Amino acid sequence: MKLALSMLCENPDRKTGLTTLYHAFVERSLAQFQDLEWVVYVGPEQEWDATCERVEVVRKFPANDRTLRRLVADHFRVAGDASRRGAECLVTTGFVPLIRTLPVAMHMLSLQHLNVDNRVGLARRFYRKFSAESGLERAELVITNTDFAVSQILSVNPACKDRLLQSYEGLDHDAFHSMATKAEVTRLREVCSIEPGYLLWISNFYPYKQAELLVDAYAGLSEKLRKAMPLVMVGGGGWGNGLESVSQRIAEHGLEDHVTLLGWVADDLIAPLYRNARVFALASREETFGRCVLEAMACGVPCIVNDIEVMHEVTQEHAVIVDFNDRKSSVQGLRAVAEDEDLRKRLIRNGKKRSKRFSFDLLAGERVDAIRTMLENQKLLREGAGEVSQPGVSLPAVEGISSVTLDETDTEAEGHTPKEAVKL
């Protein structure tokens, strides 16, 4: 089976979690399925390291640093090129090409355009609304990552239920673990000018990430605690002048001596940054998964997250959960996760256990099986067969598709205590 993947939607100057996701998806799927080949479309300057004799990397089209040209390529040229190279299915993110010559497995991982408060911009909102609605109507398979995302998708297009697969994100446990070393402490000191014990935030500065609210909460801590736990923010600017807004909020609170803005750092610094943090924070108004929280948990860092539905699902309450719009609550939460040693020990222990339930091997197996089943169904339909299998969210036992749902019973069986977290 030969699959094509378009990575052109990533901006090489502003990477997102898609880069990690698709590298791992391709690498782990090749290890599991010996009959599998990939054609991967990336921009001329775009990062792509997953190469072997069964991966053909195509760099003839622009990536999202040249947005209009990328849209033309993705909607009018990539599918035809993939067909000519022998691909049987095109894997995309958030769209189905306007002109296509092969089935599409569309990852739908973001519906931020549904909320005007996310300030994605008029043109971006129009395009995302169009591509989401069109894609959910036309894709042969829709893949998403949480039950929360499933509910969002079905609110837009209930009819796609029987073509919808919920498959949790994965985690690279070789990289994200809790075994810190003296060498990485030295490197963080030399490269980033920081010492262990900081409050960590990692993301693009998109408006929906609400970094300003984290700064507001941090400003409410005592001077003594801020000196002991400086705020380190890693990431680049996104749409909506997010980085400028955060910098202004830092200045308004007079926190310049307590906050370090590192910008983007080398990928091999991310795990050490987690491991040497005292607390990890995610104040997002909206996420469809939030892999950074699980990465922090795997590295043995207690987390404080915003009180949104998906964070309850992903963390299974093994985090401090607060409403970051309530400054008093968020300040109390930060103080608790920084100073309450009993709470910290519980969150670290159960966070590490929780993170072990997610793997890229499982993700790759689920998603390739779903694509294979979809292609077999398409063949049956072309041949005029009757009943076919569907990877719908209501049919997790369909042959060829595995799905893991973590409910309270599963969590307790692993030694967790689902309601242990502080919710303020």
* Contact status, residue 208 vs residue 118, Cβ threshold 8 Å: yes
**Does pLDDT of 128 surpass 60?**
yes
Residue 414 above 60 pLDDT?
Answer: no
Look at 218 and 203; give whichever has higher pLDDT.
218
Looking at the predicted structure, is the pLDDT value of residue 301 above 70? yes
pLDDT at 131: 86
Q: What is the pLDDT of residues 18-41, one digit of tens each?
A: 888 999 999 999 999 999 999 999
Q: Is residue 42 a contact partner of residue 58, using CB atoms and an 8 Å limit? A: yes
User: Strand, helix or coil at 306?
Assistant: strand
Strand partners, 91: 5, 105
pLDDT band at 108 (very low <50, low <70, confident <90, very high): very high
- At 316-325, the pLDDT tens digits run 999 999 999 9
State yes or no: pLDDT of 118 exceeds 90.
Answer: no
Identify the pLDDT of residue 390. Answer: 53
DSSP character string of 65-99: TSHHHHHHHHHHTHHHHHHHTT-SEEEEES---SS
Phi, psi of 402 (to 5 degrees): -105, 150
Q: Which CATH number fits domain 182-355: 3.30.465.10, 3.40.50.2000, 3.30.460.10, 3.30.200.20?
A: 3.40.50.2000
Question: With 50 as the cut, is the pLDDT of residue 354 above it?
Answer: yes
Which comes out higher in pLDDT, residue 422 or 20?
20
Residue with the bigger pLDDT between 4 and 420: it is: 4
| pLDDT, tens only, 84-99 | 999 999 999 999 999 9
Residue 385 confidence class, pLDDT cut points 50, 70, 90: low
> Contact, 48 vs 7, CB < 8 A?
yes
Q: Which of 310, 316, 285 is nearest to 411 (CA)?
A: 316
**Mean local confidence (pLDDT), 149-156:** 92
CATH 3.40.50.2000 range(s) for the chain read 2-166, 182-355
DSSP conformational letter for 199: E
Query: Over the range 268-286, which residues count as b (16 or more CB within 10 Å of their CB) and which as e?
Result: ebbbbbbbbbbbbbbbbbb
Report, as an integer, the average pLDDT of 152-175: 94
DSSP 217-257: HHHTS-HHHHHHS-EEEE--B-GGGHHHHHHHHHHHTT-TT
Pair 252, 222: CB distance under 8 Å: no
Per-residue confidence at 392, pLDDT binned at 50, 70, 90? very low
How confident is the model over 242-296, as pLDDT tens digits? 888 999 999 999 999 999 999 989 999 999 999 999 999 999 998 889 999 999 9
State whether CATH 2.60.40.10 applies to domain 2-166. no
